[in-house]
Chain A
Amino acid sequence: MPGYLNIHESDTRNLTSWGNYPVVESSVFMCNDEQEARSYILNEGTTIPRGNGRSYGDSALGKNVINLLQLNKFISFDDQSGILHCESGVLLEDIVRIFLPQGWFLRVTPGTKLITVGGAIASDIHGKNHHQAGCFSSNVLDFRLLLSDGTCITCAPDQNSEIFRATCGGMGLTGIILDSRIKLQQVTSRNILQQTIKSENLQSTFDLFDKHELEPYSVAWIDSLASEKNLGRCLFMKGDFACDGNLNYSPSKSLNIPFYFPVFCLNTMSVKAFNYLYYNKIRDNFIESTVSVDAFFYPLDAVNNWNRIYGRQGFTQYQFVLPKEKSFDGLREILIRIHRSGQGSFLAVLKLFGKENENYLSFPCEGYTLALDFKVSPGIFRLLEELDKIVLSCNGRIYLSKDVRMNTAMFRKGYEKLDGFLKIRKELRADAKFISLQSIRLQL
């Protein structure tokens, strides 16, 4: 009956993730608690767990999706050890809002706090302190995983450790993370003492990363449209928590982008202008400032739906990592190629990773990672395939949480531990249950 609402167990709708590409019809089950998750697993067909839908591509998309945002209860917090026990749908935003005023903060946080704890584990996310703190999983004490047969196991680095290593970074393909215990770090302030340093070219950018290796947080924004002698120039940002004892935190207000920008808004000219202005907004070669945690870690969260500026066609993020010894030449070649294509990126973020961890599909390995945003357009996938070749020739790899288009060969060569992952997935019979568009595309 039109105008009447019926509450169904699953809801069929058009679903997309943060890149707004692709958009697919999915049957979405909103899960309220563990019992519901179990009976859904036992009674329904294939599915893929989904949190806040902030992965960029098709990792959390599928014919059937189980949405875990309502599995968002805090279970306990020990203010002596900083160990937080919570369900997997809890948003990092809530953790920051509740615990920062008490002097606790995430040990590893990505560039947005609008993701769930379960998503952080499944993507084994990294942050500006990867070179010192590793990935999110290094602070996960354990989690409970719901398997394809409806049973539930506890996984920790020393308990079901193979499944732990397959699930951290495993893109939801081993089972459903129900709850987990993570360790928070004690901090003394809601503020970050930030230094911004300008570099002239790629070599000086690299020098900055080496020189400031001991800084806990560092990242660089690269002007992806600069060329020749300016190629690889950047604003290098580093920082650490201030010592002012000010824990008076309330989340910053955010702006909203209420509609999709028309296609023509974002073109080579506007991106060039943005990059030019952004780089030149800082006149001195060095400035120091005190900024809030929100401004330092989550600058883009200040604008809700910022993905809409890329228009209705959506966008994709291309993030790769190159082993350190090959980083310089590889990045140089990639930046030249991008410059030649004229397809600049608003946000080109460079970061030096620390050591690789043992997880099967975690992205980071020691070397430089660059993340680039591109509007989805006819020419873009051709350019990305060219970039793939360069990444591959340097033995690099692409981040699954951002990926929406790489081919199987590229994936297999990038992730050497893949066979081990596939074996575990088979043993858990997860390959017949947990299926995303990405897992189909990559034959995972």
Chain B
Amino acid sequence: MEFILILGAKSDIARALAIVYARHGYNLFLAARNAKELERFASDLQIRYQVEVRMKEFDVTEFSSHQLFFTSLNPMPSGTLFCIGYLGTLPASAKEITEIVHTVEVNFTGCATILSVVANEYEKKRTGFIVGISSVAGDRGRTSNYIYGSSKAAVSAFLSGLRNRLHPSKVHVLTVKPGYVRTKMTKDLSIPEKLTSSPEKLAEHIFRSQQKGREVIYSFRIWRLIMLIITHIPEKLFKRLSL
């Protein structure tokens, strides 16, 4: 039976994804730091959906461990979902060197190294899928979170390149750009209710889109429009706005 790998399995979106894939009969590798904390979540999934769930220790910033991490998974997962994101402590993330480095390493460098390993394996086998969670914040940099945003911009560009490269090998890459989602990461932020999705809704949307082979999705269709407008505001004007 097929296994799916979920990287960053402790996040709210990752948990919601784990539930959806388990409900559809997929076995799971749940990878995270201190993965043992996921024990109860894992036992619940196994009993509820009668699938196999294994916890795997994974640190996205231990770049050199990524090769061994992935190749030692047995069986090799037929799909990989990258759900790691670090928002950073605002506004320190734009000013403190360690915060900047950490944000970029978690969001981008780690994403690029692990998914490159995954891509190499999938390319060899000519099968598999990759889902990467990027962000609308990557579509244009803004005062409020441009370190996070630029690292996610890099993720989006990376995933688009990966999709291009893997297309001939029939490996599918889905880029997810959620707008606001009600999660632990955003719990202290004031965010507009109408534009805010729940992890459960987003996970269903991601599952359907992955199964259908779509390329880039937003959490709501309206976000595509919003970001289209935002990316087309002339820089001369944009720099004066407070967004």
- A→B interface (CB under 8 Å): 1, 3-7, 72-77, 87, 94, 98
Contacts and interface: CB of A to CB of B under 8 A. Distances in A.
Interface in B166-222: 182, 187-188, 190-194, 196
User: Which among B43, B188, B191, B196 has the greatest number of chain A C-beta atoms within 10 A?
Assistant: B43
B189 to A, nearest CB: 9
A59 B135 CA distance: 45
Interface in B37-61: 40-41, 43-44, 46-48
A3 B187 contact: no
Interface of B: 40-41, 43-44, 46-48, 182, 187-188, 190-194, 196
Contacts of B193: 3-5
Nearest to A71: B40
A4 B194 CA distance: 8
A427 B43 CA distance: 36
Nearest to B49: A98
Contacts of B48: 74, 94, 98
Contacts of A4: 190-193
18 contacts: A3-B192, A3-B193, A4-B190, A4-B191, A4-B192, A4-B193, A5-B190, A5-B193, A5-B196, A6-B190, A7-B187, A73-B41, A74-B44, A74-B48, A75-B44, A76-B43, A76-B47, A98-B47
A7 B40 contact: no
Nearest to B190: A4
Nearest to B180: A5
User: Which among B188, B193, B196 has the greatest number of chain A C-beta atoms within 10 A?
Assistant: B193
Contacts of B47: 74, 76-77, 98
A74 B42 CA distance: 9
A77 B190 CA distance: 42
Contacts of A1: 190
A184 B218 CA distance: 45
B182 A7 contact: yes
A142 B43 CA distance: 19
A3 B191 CA distance: 9
B187 A75 contact: no
Closest 5 CB pairs of A and B: A74-B47, A73-B44, A5-B193, A7-B187, A74-B44
A8 B200 CA distance: 20
Contacts of B196: 5
Nearest to B37: A33
Nearest to A74: B47
A3 B194 contact: yes
A72 B72 CA distance: 33
Nearest to B183: A7
Given A7-B182, A73-B43, A77-B47, 17 more contacts: A3-B192, A3-B193, A3-B194, A4-B190, A5-B182, A5-B190, A7-B187, A72-B44, A73-B44, A74-B43, A74-B44, A74-B48, A75-B40, A75-B44, A76-B47, A87-B40, A98-B47
Nearest to B41: A73
B40 to A, nearest CB: 5
A98 B43 CA distance: 14
A77 B45 CA distance: 12
B191 A5 contact: yes
B34 to A, nearest CB: 14
A73 B190 contact: no
Contacts of A76: 43, 47
A196 B190 CA distance: 59
Nearest to A72: B44
Nearest to A33: B40
B40 A73 contact: yes
A74 B194 CA distance: 34
Nearest to B46: A74
A94 B19 CA distance: 15
B192 A75 contact: no
Nearest to B193: A5
Contacts of B188: 7
A400 B99 CA distance: 56
Contacts of A98: 47-48
Contacts of B190: 1, 4-6
Contacts of A75: 40, 43-44
A87 B43 CA distance: 11
B22 to A, nearest CB: 12
Nearest to B187: A7
A74 B47 CA distance: 7
A158 B45 CA distance: 32
B180 to A, nearest CB: 9
A3 B46 CA distance: 39
Nearest to A2: B193
Nearest to B47: A74
Contacts of A77: 47
A72 to B, nearest CB: 8
A321 B7 CA distance: 56
